[in-house]
Structure 1
Amino acid sequence: MTSTTLRLSETGRAIGLREAGSGAPVVLIHGVGMQSAAWAPQIEALSLTHHVIALDMPGHGSSAPLPQGSQLPAYVAWLREALTGITSAPVSLVGHSMGALIAAGFAVSHPGQVARVALLNGVYRRSAEARAAVRQRAAEIAAGHHDIDTPLKRWFGDTPAEQKARAAVARWLRAVELEGYANAYTAFATGDATYADRFAEISCPFLALTGAQDPNSTPRMAQAMAEAVQDGQAVVIDGHRHMVNLTAPDVVTGHLNAWLSRTAKTREALR
C-alpha cells in the first residue's frame, strides 16, 4: 500500500490517499473524524482484485480543508475534482457515514462516473429528534468542544475486537484538525436529506450496509435506501454498531466482494 499526497489541478488543493492493487478502480471515503487508514482491512482484501484508492476527506489526514461553512454539495464537488485527477474510468464507490453521504450525492450528480455504489453505516432522512441531536453535536464541535468519549461509547462494545478498533479510532479522532472536523460534521448533520429525493435516479448496483446495533445509521435507514434506488440491496450485520468495517472486517469485505461481482441490470430489467 502506498500513501501519497496529490495536488488537485483545478483548485491546487492537496489531497491525501492510500492506494494498492491493480484493475478496476474502487474508491473508499471514510467518515467524519477518521482518515483513509480506517479502511486498512478493506484495502488489503480488495486490492487482491482491484485498484483500491482510499481518500482522506477534506480537513482530515493529509487533505486540505474546504472553506468554512461548506455543505454536502461542496464535498461532492471535491470528490469530482479528486477523481478527475486520479482516474478516467467509472469507479466502484464505497462511503462510510459522512463518506456515504458524499458517495450517494456523487452517484446522483455524476452517474456516468459511477459503476456501483455502496453506503456503509449511512444516514437517510433522520427523524426530527435525531436531526436535532446531531445538529446540537455539530454546534458543540464548531464551538471547540472536541469530545471523543461520547462517540466512542456509542460506536463500540466491550469485546476484544471492538476495543482494539476503538483504540485505533480514538487515535484518529485525537489527530484530526478541529477546523476540518467541525466543517465536515456540520455538513454531515445537515446533509441526510440533501440528495434523498434523488435516490430513485441511482440505477447501478447499490448496497446499503449497517450494523444492527447502530443507533444512528439504523437498519431501517439501510432498508429505506435500498428500496429507494432501482437496483438496491440492504445488509444488516447483527452484533455490530457504527464502525462495522473495523469490528467485522471479514464480513464486510465479503459483502463488498459480492457487490463488486454483481452485474448491472439492463434498463428493461429495472422497469
Structure 2
Amino acid sequence: MMLTTLPPSEQSGPIGYRAAGTGAPLVLLHGVGMQSAAWAPQLAALSSSHRVIALDLPGHGISSPLPASSELPDFVVWAAEAIGALGFDRVSLAGHSMGALVAAGLSVSRPDLVERVALLNGVFRRDAAARDAVKARAAQIGTGTFDVETPLDRWFGAGSESCGIRASVAAWLRAVDLGGYATAYSAFACGDDCYADGFGRIRCPLLALTGDLDLNSTPAMSHAMAAAAPMGQAVIVEGHGHMVNLTAPEKVNAALADWLETCSKLETCSKRENVACQP
C-alpha cells in the first residue's frame, strides 16, 4: 500500500493514491482534511477480492489542489479524470463524508463510470441550522485558521483524547494543505443538495452507511439517500460516529463486501431483497 503518484494531466496536477490487490476495481475517496491513508482497514480487507485504490483528494496528501473557487462539480470532474488516468472504464466507488458527496455526484452525472456506489457518513439535504453551522466553519477555515481539536471532538466525542485512532486522524488534519482544505471544505459546505435531486437516476446498487452517533451525517440522511435511489440500502452502525470506517472496520468491511457482491443490474435485482448476482 505504498503511496504512488499518477502523472499530471492537462486538467490536473499529480494525484496521489494507495493501491492493493487484484481484480475488479474499487476506488475510495476520503473525507475533507483526511488522506488516502484513512482507508487502511478497507485497503487491507477488500484487496483480497478487488483492486482497491484509495485516492488523495485535491489539496490533500500529495495530490495537487484545485483552484480556490472550485465547487463540488469541479471535484466530481476531477474524480472522473482520475478514474480515467488509472485506466479504468467502470469502477465500484466508495466515499466517506466529502468523498461521499463526490461519489454521489459522479454516480448522478457519469453513470457510465460507476458500477455501484457506497456513501459512508454522507450528508444529504441539511436543514438550515446545520447548513449555517458548516458554512461558518468553512468561512473560518478560509481565513487561514482552524482548531484541530474541535472537529476531533465532533467526530469522536469529548473525552476521546486517549484514542489511538483519534491521534492518527489528528496527524492527518495537521498535515493537510490549508488552502486545499479550505477549498474542499467550502465545496463540502455548499454541496449537500447539489446532486440530491438526481438520486433517482442512480441506477446501480447504492449503500448509504453511517454511525448512529454521527450528529452531522445522520442516520436519517442515510435512510433518505437509500430511499431516493432505486437500488438503495441503508446500514446504520450502532455505537459509532463519523469515523466509522476506522472505529468499526469489521462491520464496515462486512457491509462493503456485501455491497460489492450486489447485482448491478436493476432489471434483475430487487431493491428490497438486495438479491446477489448469480453466476
Identify the TM-score tier after normalising by the shorter chain: over 0.9
8 Å contact from structure 2 (residues 153, 160) kept in 1: no
**Within the alignment, does 1:154 sit opposite 2:162 as a pair?**
no
TM alignment of 1:3-18, pairs within 5 A: 3-18=3-18
The number of residue pairs the alignment matches comes to: 271
Which one-letter code corresponds to 2:239 in the other structure?
G
CA distance in 1, matches of 2:7, 2:112: 24
| Residue aligning to 1:20 | 20
Q: 1:223 aligned to 2:227?
A: no
Secondary structure at the aligned position of 1:108 is classed as helix
Checking the alignment, whether the CA contact within 8 Å between 2:23 and 2:51 is kept in structure 1 is yes
Cα offset, 1:146, TM superposition: 1.6
Q: 1:154-186 CA distances to partner (integer Å, 9 max, x unpaired)? A: 111479898111000000000001000000000
Please give the alpha-carbon distance, in whole angstroms, between the structure 2 residues aligned to 1:93 and 1:118: 6
Counterpart CA distance in 2 for 1:159 and 1:153 is 8
How many Å separate the matches in 2 of 1:50 and 1:269?
A: 22
- Distance change >3 Å, CA 234–CA 257, structure 1 → 2: same
Measure, in 2, the Cα distance between the counterparts of 1:46 and 1:120: 16
- Give 1:138's aligned residue: 138
Partner of 1:241: 241
Please say if residues 71 and 186 of structure 2, whose CA atoms lie closer than 8 Å, have aligned partners that are also in contact.
yes
Decide whether aligned partners of structure 1 residues 166 and 269 sit closer, same or farther in structure 2, where only a CA change above 3 A counts.
closer
- The residue number in structure 1 matching 2:276 is none
In 1, Cα distance between equivalents of 2:170 and 2:120? 20
Displacement, 1:195?
0.2
Paired residue type of 1:84? G
Mapped pair 1:202 → 2:220: no
Is contact 2:30-2:97 (8 Å) kept? Answer: yes
Q: What SS class does the counterpart of residue 122 from structure 2 fall into?
A: coil
1:225–1:2: structure 2 CA closer, same or farther, 3 Å change rule? same
CA 1:269–1:94 in structure 2 vs 1: closer, same or farther (change >3 Å)? closer
Instruction: Tell me which amino acid in the other structure corresponds to 1:258.
Output: D
Tell whether the 8 Å contact from 1:72 to 1:187 is kept in structure 2 after alignment: yes
The whole-number CA distance in structure 2 between the counterparts of 1:158 and 1:253 is 26
Deviation digits for residues 183-234 of structure 1 (CA, Å, limit 9, x no counterpart): 0000000000100000000011110000000000000000000000000100
Report what 1:110 is aligned to: 110
Report the counterpart of residue 123 of structure 2 in structure 1: 123
Query: 2: CA distance between counterparts of 1:265 and 1:227?
Result: 18
Cross-structure match for 1:170: 170
Q: Counterpart of 1:214 in 2: which secondary structure? A: coil
Root mean square deviation of aligned Cα: 1.7
TM-superposed CA distance for 1:267, in Å, is 3.0
- CA–CA separation in structure 2 for the residues paired with 1:110 and 1:253: 26
The structure-2 alpha-carbon separation of the partners of 1:269 and 1:48, relative to structure 1 and needing over 3 Å to count, comes to: closer
The answer on 1:59 being equivalent to 2:59 is yes
CA distance in 2 between counterparts of 1:147 and 1:159 reads 16
Q: Which residue of 2 aligns with 1:97?
A: 97
The alpha-carbon deviation at position 239 of structure 1 amounts to 0.5
Q: Give the unaligned 5+ runs of structure 2.
A: 272-279
1:77 maps to which residue? Answer: 77
Deviations 1:79-105 (A, max 9, x none): 011111102331000000000000000
Moved more, 96-105 or 139-148: 139-148
Instruction: Out of 142-151 and 225-234, give the one that drifted further.
Output: 142-151
Residue 111 (structure 1) shift? 0.5
Task: Give the equivalent residue in structure 2 for 1:264.
Answer: 264
Percent sequence identity is 59
Task: Tell me if 1:183 matches 2:189.
Answer: no
Q: Which amino acid aligns with 1:75?
A: F
Q: CA deviation at 1:76?
A: 0.3
How far apart are 1:69 and its partner, in Å? 1.2
Amino acid at match of 1:23: G
